[in-house]
């Protein structure tokens, strides 16, 4: 019982292999150990008493945690939960997460420190002190010197702001506030503590840190108003707080969370009729972030919200992961690059000029490869408000 995983969860895999073609690491390597089935088999062995050795750590660590396998699995194996549990045990029982690998995660929950580090990075970029290899590996955008202030527009909903997105892509939050207002609602901004959802900590196995951040986020947005999220990864994390914390309060909080497209889709008529000549004159391919498609399962709402404003083109890769995976692209640059190469081929085949992505990690990673990536809300805002 060393992995402390639920035996029923582990036993639910019948080894059919239907998930294998949907696993990005298996597609690249062809190795069973890099497949969902192989990883579950390794978890079972450790659960039965095999050692937590380096090979097991590598098998777990190479997983992008995209959860494409969950969508494909006919037996409803909760792979995300299994992988989070395995990594939590590795972090607690082995040297999987030494202090120096935990430091960047600690920064995420301290907004002022992150903003300060971003300002220093912006200066270093302008002085050409940041090597291109580092920029490419981290998928760094042109960092802002300072943050434009955001202002609440009402109390109908909360707009969750988060950490990296609020620091590097705050203009999308500003666009979200305008689009929410155009749909007839006003948005509040989170109080102290609403600056990191803990998703990256959970993926890294840092369970206590993720729970601490979840408690802070819940306290930052009290009441009953819906919580609207414009980052797919953060939205998936907030919707899982009931499971993460295991309290009725956390379950009630999680039930208030909606991805912004999920919130907008039934209200899109409120935005007004858009004449054909006002639509964006570029074809837009929709990239489904894994945490929108496989975890929240609200990727169709993006199309509903976006379709009055742009001509949408579908990619032909059945939503295969782009390789960003939160911090994955920085930790496994070669594998992430090979996974991304397949996504880039699909984008090229589509002939689209612009790619819409509702997750900051995917956007940064695809943009680092030269793709013109925009958040769907930015595109809607551009048509509505000419920005
Ligand atoms: S989460 Fe993604 S990378 Fe990991 S096993 Fe499942 S499909 Fe493969
Ligand atoms: S995880 Fe699901 S799809 Fe994959 S081998 Fe197991 S039962 Fe089959």
**pLDDT tens digits, residue range 87-127?**
999 999 888 877 777 777 877 878 888 888 888 888 888 88
Residues belonging to the chain = 387
| Rounded distance from Cα 64 to ligand 1 centre (Å) | 6
Angle between helices 207-220 and 79-93 (to 10 degrees): 120
Angle between helices 299-306 and 376-385 (to 10 degrees): 10
What is the pLDDT at residue 1?
A: 53
Q: Which residues of the chain have pLDDT under 70?
A: 1, 136-139, 387
Residues with CB under 6 A from ligand 1: 22-25, 36, 39, 63-69, 79
Using most ligand atoms within 8 A of CB, pick from 35, 62, 63, 318 the residue to mutate for ligand 1: 63
Q: Look up residue 149 and give its DSSP letter.
A: P
pLDDT > 70 in the chain, percent: 98
Nearest one of 280, 249, 312, 266 to 387, comparing CA atoms: 280
What is the pLDDT at residue 148?
A: 83
What is the pLDDT at residue 123?
A: 84
| Rounded distance from Cα 19 to ligand 2 centre (Å) | 6
Instruction: Determine if ligand 2 sits within 6 Å of the CB of residue 69.
Output: yes
pLDDT per residue as tens digits for the range 280-338: 888 999 999 999 999 999 999 999 999 999 999 999 998 999 999 988 988 899 999 99
| Rounded distance from Cα 80 to ligand 2 centre (Å) | 13
**CA-CA distances (angstroms) from residue 152 to 85, 230, 323?**
38, 16, 34
């Amino acid at each position: 019982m060393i992995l402390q995983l639920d035996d029923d969860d582990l036993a639910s895999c019948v080894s059919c292999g239907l998930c294998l073609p949907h696993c990005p690491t298996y597609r690249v390597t062809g190795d069973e150990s890099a497949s969902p089935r192989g990883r579950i088999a390794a978890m079972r062995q450790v659960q039965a008493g095999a050692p937590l050795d380096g090979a097991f750590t590598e098998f777990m660590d190479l997983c992008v945690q995209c959860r494409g396998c969950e969508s494909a699995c006919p037996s409803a194996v909760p792979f995300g939960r299994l992988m989070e549990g395995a990594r939590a045990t590795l972090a607690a029982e082995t040297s999987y997460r030494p202090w120096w690998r935990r430091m960047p995660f600690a920064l995420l929950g301290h907004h002022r420190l992150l903003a300060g580090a971003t300002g220093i990075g912006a200066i270093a970029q302008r002085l050409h002190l940041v090597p291109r290899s580092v920029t490419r590996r981290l998928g760094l955008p042109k960092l802002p010197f300072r943050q434009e202030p955001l202002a609440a527009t009402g109390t109908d909903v909360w707009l969750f702001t988060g950490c990296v997105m609020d620091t590097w892509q705050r203009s999308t939050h500003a666009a979200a506030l305008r689009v929410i207002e155009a749909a007839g609602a006003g948005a509040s901004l989170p109080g102290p503590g609403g600056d990191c959802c803990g998703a990256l900590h959970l993926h890294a196995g840092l369970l206590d840190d993720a729970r601490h951040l979840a408690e802070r986020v819940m306290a930052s947005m009290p009441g009953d108003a819906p919580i609207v999220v414009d980052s797919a990864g953060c939205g998936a994390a907030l919707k899982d707080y009931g499971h993460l914390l295991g309290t009725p309060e956390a379950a009630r909080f999680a039930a208030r969370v909606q991805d912004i497209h999920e919130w907008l889709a039934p209200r899109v008529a409120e935005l007004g009729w858009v004449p054909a000549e006002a639509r964006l004159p570029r074809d837009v391919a929709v990239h489904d972030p894994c945490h929108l498609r496989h975890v929240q399962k609200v990727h169709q709402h993006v199309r509903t919200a976006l379709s009055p404003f742009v001509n949408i083109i579908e990619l032909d890769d059945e939503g295969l992961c782009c390789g960003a995976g939160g911090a994955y692209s920085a930790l496994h640059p070669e594998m992430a690059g090979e996974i991304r190469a397949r996504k880039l081929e699909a984008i090229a085949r589509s002939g689209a000029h612009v790619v819409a992505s509702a997750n900051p990690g995917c956007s940064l990673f695809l943009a680092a490869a030269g793709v013109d990536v925009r958040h769907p809300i930015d595109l809607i805002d551009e048509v509505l408000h000419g920005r």
